[in-house]
Amino acid sequence: MVVSQERLASEVGAQVLREGGTAVDAAVATAFALAVVHPAAGNLGGGGFLLSRPASGQPTFLDFRETAPAGAHPRMWLKEGVYDEKLHHESLASVGVPGTVAGLRRAWQREGRLPWARLLNPAIRLAREGFVLSEHQAASLGKQLPEFRRHGPTLAQFSRSGEPLRAGDRLVQRELARTLLRLSRNWSDFYRGETARLILRDMRASGGLITGADLRAYRPRWRDVLRGTYRGVEVLAAPPPSSGGQVLIQALNVLEGYDLRAAGSGSPQALHLAAEALRRAFADRAQHLGDPAFNPGIPMARLLSKAYAAELRATIPLDRASVSAPDRFAWTRDRPDTTHLSVLDRKGNAVSLTYTLEDSYGLKRIVPGAGFLLNNELGDFNAGPGLTDAMGLIGTAPNLAQPGKRPLSSMCPVILVKEGAVFMVAGSPGGRTIPSTVLGTVLGVVDFDLDARAAVDALRFHHQWLPDQLQVERGLPAAVKEALQAMGHALTFVKQQGCAQVILVRNGLVEGAADTKRWPDSGVAVASAKAERQPQRPLITHRNALVATNFKQAERSFNR
């Protein structure tokens, strides 16, 4: 089973599974395909995290987050002493040394089986021969066209001589195909070869900070998986430099003390308690979390302990909202885009991978001659020392820019394990809302017995301490809205939050549910392996997929 944000990419991964590839093989091939068919977030020029849980052996977590170049420093986002948002998010200084290529290679070395080049070939073909743009792909590119116009190579790659591409048009990316071909022969070309030369030429010509030494020094890092439990289910999650696992596990620990099932899915009480748990977890995030290489003292064992959760619960009033102290921490606004993919192979090996360029299309800057977009991930560093203010800047120390440091992330790839076997694989984009989106899917499955489809479709919520507001997707029933407001929650509404890709093993079925909240025609779950070997047609549509030994049961659930 492969669930990702794009049909062509999910199909690439499923084909790898059919050929006997491992879950990691499928994740790597899907990720390279997403770099072609989902350029908003799929990438070569960004970074991310890969959580793997082999059916036998220990789970692993690979951190291939972007890293600040040697020229970075805590005051780098200030111009003449004043914070400059454009410098922080839109300049070449915001580009971190990309980790995706080294990360996918390292994961493949450890748990891959098919040849490396086999995993890149579908992406090369999709880039060279092009693919037909869907409605949402054309709309996404069209929306960014004014931004793309600021950089000739980006405009050339993502338009037809400056005119918007339309649904049904073919997007051909020849330079990207050539880069992928070089990487299929020699992955280190990205850091030491022709691709590195093209990156460095652009950096020198345009005032970027990344040097050849920065590229050569890049290393993905194996990290200890962050572990928690929730109502007897084991939770495997992302450690620093992500805050995803800390926020998720801490919130789950707090919520374990309440009877959410009795409160009911989407009830004012359940939303109130989830918001209060998140409020507290996010306050701790801002105080303590950053790249562990620069923050050796993160009190993670305490933050994730059940005893600490009990202390936090004691501060939560059941009938009214707490108040976030505005002078303690504040947050910058979140921007799209990131993407997640979930894979489960026939042996029960699971992979949960989230990677990103930070903003949608990153810096919106194609490396001339190389055909891929640069990230603006260093925008995830705090603004500058002492710059915390009511307007939304943060200046806390753990996440200030420093040479060789990785900016704090919220990405939250998770794998849940029940009775020794994989139970759920999930993750989402959405910046700081990511742990909240993942929390919602976990509560849906564990507390409210939802299937994968319903857990993905459930109304999402988010609270991040400050700004002191409870964000909810549109569609909240009026009675729930009024009850939450009566408790003192300041509600804000968004059309949709995140884009979750969920696999669930339940009642003898493997369910895949892709998120179609953002775009009705995006997000695809593809069942492979066992479904292929069934005499019946494979159970696949663009939203759902099922794999089962008992196909009658599968079809009943599927046709619901």
In the set 22, 154, 338, 516, the catalytic residue is: 338
Q: Applying CB under 6 A, which of residues 410, 437, 471, 497 lies at the interface with ligand DON?
A: 410
Would you say 35 or 411 has its CB closer to ligand DON? 411
Rounded Cα–Cα distance for residues 465 and 246 (Å): 15
**Type and span of the H or E element at 270:** helix 268-288
Would you say 30 or 409 has its CB closer to ligand DON? 409
Q: Are strands 338-344 and 2-4 parallel, antiparallel or unpaired?
A: antiparallel
**Type and span of the H or E element at 228:** strand 226-230
Q: Applying CB under 6 A, which of residues 228, 240, 336, 384 lies at the interface with ligand DON?
A: 336
Would you say 99 or 266 has its CB closer to ligand DON? 99
Stretch of residues binding ligand DON (CB under 6 A), selected from 51-59, 70-78, 321-329, 333-341 = 333-341
- What would the two tokens of residue 131 be? 């693919």
State the nearest-atom distance from the C-beta of 408 to ligand DON, in Å. Answer: 8
State the nearest-atom distance from the C-beta of 89 to ligand DON, in Å. Answer: 11
Q: Are strands 502-506 and 509-513 parallel, antiparallel or unpaired?
A: antiparallel
Would you say 441 or 544 has its CB closer to ligand DON? 441
Rounded Cα–Cα distance for residues 69 and 405 (Å): 8
State the nearest-atom distance from the C-beta of 517 to ligand DON, in Å. Answer: 12
Q: Applying CB under 6 A, which of residues 6, 90, 202, 358 lies at the interface with ligand DON?
A: 358
Rounded Cα–Cα distance for residues 551 and 553 (Å): 5
**Type and span of the H or E element at 132:** strand 131-132
Residue 366 β-bridge partners: 373
- The 3-class SS string of 299-360 reads CHHHHCCHHHHHHHHCCCCCCCCCCCCCCCCCCCCCCCCEEEEEEECCCCCEEEEEEECCCC
Residue 155 β-bridge partners: none
Q: Applying CB under 6 A, which of residues 4, 159, 338, 441 lies at the interface with ligand DON?
A: 338
**Binding of residue 337 to ligand DON (CB under 6 A):** yes
Residue 335's CB is within 10 A of a number of other CB atoms, namely 14
Stretch of residues binding ligand DON (CB under 6 A), selected from 221-229, 302-310, 334-342, 441-449 = 334-342
Would you say 184 or 437 has its CB closer to ligand DON? 437
Would you say 239 or 266 has its CB closer to ligand DON? 239
State the nearest-atom distance from the C-beta of 396 to ligand DON, in Å. Answer: 16
Q: Applying CB under 6 A, which of residues 13, 240, 430, 444 lies at the interface with ligand DON?
A: 430
State the nearest-atom distance from the C-beta of 242 to ligand DON, in Å. Answer: 7
**Type and span of the H or E element at 104:** helix 100-111
**Binding of residue 411 to ligand DON (CB under 6 A):** yes
Would you say 140 or 544 has its CB closer to ligand DON? 140
Q: Applying CB under 6 A, which of residues 214, 380, 473, 515 lies at the interface with ligand DON?
A: 380
How many residues make contact with ligand DON (CB under 6 A)?
Answer: 15
**Binding of residue 429 to ligand DON (CB under 6 A):** yes
Task: Look up residue 239 and give its DSSP letter.
Answer: P
Expressed in percent and rounded to 5, the helix, strand and coil fractions of the chain are 40, 20, 45
Rounded Cα–Cα distance for residues 417 and 398 (Å): 32
Angle, helix 244-255 to helix 268-288, in steps of 10 degrees:
140
Greatest pairwise CA separation for the chain in angstroms: 70
**Binding of residue 431 to ligand DON (CB under 6 A):** yes
- What would the two tokens of residue 242 be? 């992500």
Stretch of residues binding ligand DON (CB under 6 A), selected from 272-280, 293-301, 330-338, 365-373 = 330-338
Is 441 marked active-site? no
Catalytic residue ranges = 338
- Which residues of this chain interact with ligand DON, rule CB under 6 A? 335-338, 356, 358, 377, 380, 409-411, 429-431, 434
